[in-house]
Amino acid sequence: QPQQKDYDDLCGLPDLNEKTLLENLRSRFKQEKIYTYVGSILIVINPFKFLPIYNPKYVKMYDNHQLGKLEPHIYAVADVAYHAMLQRRKNQCIVISGESGSGKTQSTNFLIHHLTA
C-alpha cells in the first residue's frame, strides 16, 4: 500500500469524511505533529508529554508569518491575532475549547508566551 500523504490542513484532504479526517490526525500525531489546521481553525491533540517546539527558535520562526505558510502551530495563531489587532486597531479573540484535561490551560500558556515574546 502506498505511503499516504498527511495534510497539515484538513481542507486539503481529497476525500473529506470522518474516516480520512481521523486517519490524517492519527498519522500526524504518530509523527508528533500535534497541530493541524482546518482553514483558520487549529486542532491540537494533547501529546501528554513536552515536545521541543516551544522555544525562542519557534517564537522567531512564527513571528509575522501568514497562517498556513509554515507547519501548524499555536504560535502561528497567536501571531496572526496579534498582527490583526495591530493592523485593524480592533480587539481580537482566540477561542480555546475542549474536554477536561485536553490541554486548554497549557495551550493558553503557549499563546501568552508567544504574545509576550
- Write out pLDDT tens, residues 23-40: 999 999 999 999 999 999
Instruction: Please enumerate, by residue number, every residue annotated as part of a binding site for ATP.
Output: 98-105
Q: Would you say domain 10-116 falls under CATH 3.40.850.10?
A: yes
- How many Å apart are CA 73 and CA 50, to the nearest integer? 14
In the chain, what are the domain boundaries? 10-116
Computed on alpha carbons and rounded to an integer, the radius of gyration of the chain in Å comes to 15
CA 24 to chain centre: 14
Confidence of residue 5 (pLDDT cuts 50, 70, 90): confident
Instruction: Please enumerate, by residue number, every residue annotated as part of a binding site.
Output: 98-105
Are β-strands 35-38 and 41-44 bridged in parallel, bridged antiparallel, or unpaired? antiparallel
Q: How many CA atoms lie within 13 A of 19 on its CB side?
A: 2
Is-contact 51 34, C-beta < 8 A?
Answer: yes
- Each residue's pLDDT tens digit, 43-99: 999 999 999 999 999 999 999 999 999 999 999 999 999 999 999 999 999 999 999
